[in-house]
């Protein structure tokens, strides 16, 4: 019985930290979705205060040596099962958090909250110089964070680890270089194909209210539970899970382009299904936390691309789309529709990129932010560097910083080391989806028949309910029998786009 007591005490303390953190998430959600314009000043101060408190509570997990003693028991292999997971994962976060002084945490929270507004202004005015001083502050804070946390190889590793535990920049470089080696020539082949796809036929006039209904219908059909969640509008679509019973997604709407909302809704619903599928009974411990951002992204991308841009999904939804929006869809046959939503064309904006070019956007960001943190780049030159790389990898010119280096919120929010998880997510998704297709007989038919719960249930059983029980690498190996590799993703692209663009088969180089 005595052995149980410190565990209970740790659970109690942890629970408070998780509930308070979920308040921070609500503050951020509200800031994006509801907050009136002039509320931003006071909001950053509230966020800074609460961030300081959460940090202090986190560090105080070890008050009386409770956590240290449990860690010793863990190392001596005296803890098993769920307790072992809780102590292992809590120690990992604690060990990072305790190295950061409270003052640093508050400063980071306040600066990044303010910098997001400055970034929005700079983007609106297409003026990088407005953002530059804030970016300098943030990069300097993040470099300091890396020093405080510590690292062996690159300071970038210390940041990456917060989003994708155990991943290193060396490993990411290897994976992304492989990907680049595949993608750049693959994109060239597509560009040279005689098949040209015109996706302008998909545009039209779509009243927002009807779009909202259609998006909600898709989200529900995927299994998103609106008794435990919401769907709202915001400038940048995102998912915020406060608790498995309160998970909120946002999407964005364009009157001319219904896929502007649908793509985001499917993507965010994928994230939301993960958050709603975490085991409620373990909320307040790492057992009800997602594995990593890469695994989280695999859930959204699997739904958005592997499922949501494939024929079976639209076999089910296309007749509904045609019924709700006869103009223009009544006159577009299913096959032409399928090709149009999968048109590959290098473009300026990451969030609107197709599956083939998307990872090239990520590679550019990763290469730049790694150098930012390693201090080997002049921040004032970012716009030029951006243009250079866009030309080199995607072959296009960047007309404005608004559509270039200023397009993403991440850096202004202090999220450096975050971008690579998007590409990892794509790779995880492809590997998971290949396995899912092996394990569920006639999955395509089931999806085409509207049985989306097949996908949801498989992901729930294999990924969601485990929380942080396994590391990303362990989990992917447990499910697919292999560690993460880019083979599945490359094969997937080759097969799908080989068909669409009638590409000649090449002898594939294995990595």
Shortest approach of its own copies to residue 243 CB, angstroms?
A: 4
Taking CB under 8 A as the criterion, the residue among 7, 9, 11, 45 binding its own copies is 45
| 27 interacts with its own copies by CB under 8 A | yes
Q: How far is the CB of 33 from its own copies (least distance, A)?
A: 8
> Which of 195, 226, 349, 380 is in the footprint of its own copies by CB under 8 A?
226
Instruction: Tell me: does residue 396 bind its own copies (CB under 8 A).
Output: no
Residues 49-108 that bind its own copies (CB under 8 A): 49-50, 53
Can you tell me whether residue 247 is helix, strand or coil? strand
- Contact window for its own copies (CB under 8 A) among 31-39, 194-202, 294-302, 473-481: 31-39
Residue selected from 82, 180, 230, 315 as contacting its own copies according to rule CB under 8 A = 230
Q: Please, what is the minimum distance in Å from the beta carbon of residue 38 to its own copies?
A: 4
Q: Write the CA distances from 215 to 275, 278, 312, 323, 459, integer angstroms.
A: 19, 23, 18, 14, 21
CB 316 within 8 A of CB 338: no
Residue 244 CB partners (closer than 8 Å, separation 6+): 228, 275, 276, 277, 278, 279, 280, 283, 288
Q: How far is the CB of 30 from its own copies (least distance, A)?
A: 6
Rounded Cα distance between 489 and 364, Å, is 19
44, containing H or E segment: helix 40-59
Distance CA 373, CA 257 (A): 38
- Secondary structure of 272-330 as H, E, C letters: HHHHHHCCHHHCCCHHHCCCCHHHHHHHHHHHHHHHCCCHHHHHHHHHHHHHHCHHHHC
The whole-angstrom separation of Cα 485 and Cα 94 is 30
Closest CA to 319 of 309, 329, 310: 329
Q: Provide the strand spans (E) within 443-485.
A: none
Work out how close the CB of 17 gets to its own copies at its nearest, in angstroms, rounded to a whole number: 9
Quick check: 8 binds its own copies (CB under 8 A)? no
Of the two residues 107 and 494, which places its CB atom closer to its own copies in the complex?
A: 107
Binding mask 238-257 for its own copies (x = CB under 8 A): ----xx-xx-x---------
Minimum distance from residue 108 beta carbon to its own copies (Å):
17
Written as six digits, the tokens of 161 are 């680890």
Lateral strand order in the sheet of 246-251: 229-233, 246-251, 239-243
Q: In the complex with its own copies, which residue's Cβ is closer, 97 or 354?
A: 97
Piece of the chain touching its own copies by CB under 8 A; list 14-22, 139-147, 214-222, 478-486: 14-22
Q: Which of 425, 165, 175, 415 is nearest to 295 (CA)?
A: 425
Minimum CB separation of residue 23 from its own copies in Å reads 5
List 145, 164, 268, 297, catalytic entry = 268
Helix segments in 98-163, DSSP class H: 102-125, 128-149, 155-163
Q: Quick check: 480 and 463 in contact, CB under 8 A? A: no
Kindly state whether residue 207 participates in binding its own copies, applying the rule CB under 8 A: no
Concerning whether 268 is annotated as a catalytic residue, the answer is yes
- Single residue of 2, 4, 37, 194 touching its own copies by CB under 8 A: 37
Q: Which of 9, 11, 46, 125 binds its own copies (CB under 8 A)?
A: 46
The SS3 call for residue 248 is strand
Residue 281 touches its own copies, criterion: CB under 8 A: no
Beta carbon nearer to its own copies, 15 or 331: 15
Q: Which residues are catalytic?
A: 268
Where does this chain bind its own copies (CB under 8 A)?
Answer: 15-16, 19-20, 22-23, 26-27, 30, 34-39, 41-43, 45-46, 49-50, 53, 225-230, 242-243, 245-246, 248, 283
């Amino acid at each position: 019985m005595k052995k149980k007591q410190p565990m209970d005490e740790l659970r109690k303390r942890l629970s408070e930290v998780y509930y308070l953190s979920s308040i921070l998430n609500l503050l951020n959600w509200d800031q994006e979705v509801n907050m009136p314009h002039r509320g931003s000043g006071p909001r950053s101060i509230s966020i800074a205060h609460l961030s300081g408190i959460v940090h202090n509570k986190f560090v105080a997990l070890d008050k009386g040596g409770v956590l240290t003693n449990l860690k010793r028991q863990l190392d001596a292999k005296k803890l098993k099962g769920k307790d072992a997971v809780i102590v292992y994962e809590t120690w990992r976060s604690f060990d990072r958090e305790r190295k950061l002084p409270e003052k640093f945490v508050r400063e980071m929270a306040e600066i990044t909250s303010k910098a997001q507004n400055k970034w929005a202004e700079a983007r609106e005015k297409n003026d990088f110089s407005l953002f530059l001083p804030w970016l300098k502050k943030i990069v300097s804070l993040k470099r300091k964070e890396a020093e405080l946390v510590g690292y062996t190889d690159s300071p970038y590793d210390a940041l990456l680890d917060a989003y994708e535990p155990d991943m290193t920049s060396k490993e990411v470089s290897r994976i992304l270089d492989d990907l680049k080696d595949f993608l750049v020539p693959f994109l060239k082949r597509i560009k040279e194909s005689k098949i040209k796809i015109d996706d302008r036929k998909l545009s039209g006039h779509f009243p927002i209210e009807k779009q909202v209904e259609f998006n909600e219908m898709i989200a529900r059909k995927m299994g998103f539970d609106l008794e435990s969640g919401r769907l709202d509008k915001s400038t940048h679509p995102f998912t915020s899970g406060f608790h498995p019973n309160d998970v909120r997604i946002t999407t964005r709407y364009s009157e001319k382009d219904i896929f502007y909302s649908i793509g985001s809704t499917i993507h965010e619903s994928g994230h939301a299904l993960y958050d709603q599928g975490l085991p409620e009974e373990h909320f307040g411990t790492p057992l009800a936390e997602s594995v990593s951002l890469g695994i989280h992204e695999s859930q959204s991308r699997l739904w958005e691309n592997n499922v949501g841009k494939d024929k079976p999904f639209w076999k089910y939804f296309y007749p509904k789309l045609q019924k709700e929006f006869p103009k223009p869809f009544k006159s577009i046959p299913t096959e032409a529709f399928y090709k149009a939503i999968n048109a590959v064309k290098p473009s300026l904006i990451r969030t609107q990129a197709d599956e083939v070019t998307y990872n090239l956007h990520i590679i550019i960001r990763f290469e730049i932010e790694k150098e930012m943190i390693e201090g080997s780049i002049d921040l004032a030159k970012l716009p030029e560097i951006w243009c250079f790389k866009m030309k080199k990898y995607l072959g296009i010119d960047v007309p404005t910083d608004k559509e270039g280096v200023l397009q993403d919120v991440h850096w202004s929010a202090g999220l450096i080391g975050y971008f690579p998880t998007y590409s990892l997510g794509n790779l995880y998704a492809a590997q998971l989806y290949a396995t899912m297709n092996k394990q569920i007989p006639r999955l395509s038919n089931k999806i085409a028949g509207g049985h989306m719960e097949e996908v949801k249930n498989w992901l729930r059983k294999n990924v969601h309910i485990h929380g942080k029980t396994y590391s990303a690498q362990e989990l992917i190996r447990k499910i697919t029998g292999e560690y993460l590799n880019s083979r599945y993703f490359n094969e997937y692209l080759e097969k799908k786009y080989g068909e669409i663009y009638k590409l000649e088969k090449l002898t594939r180089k294995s990595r």
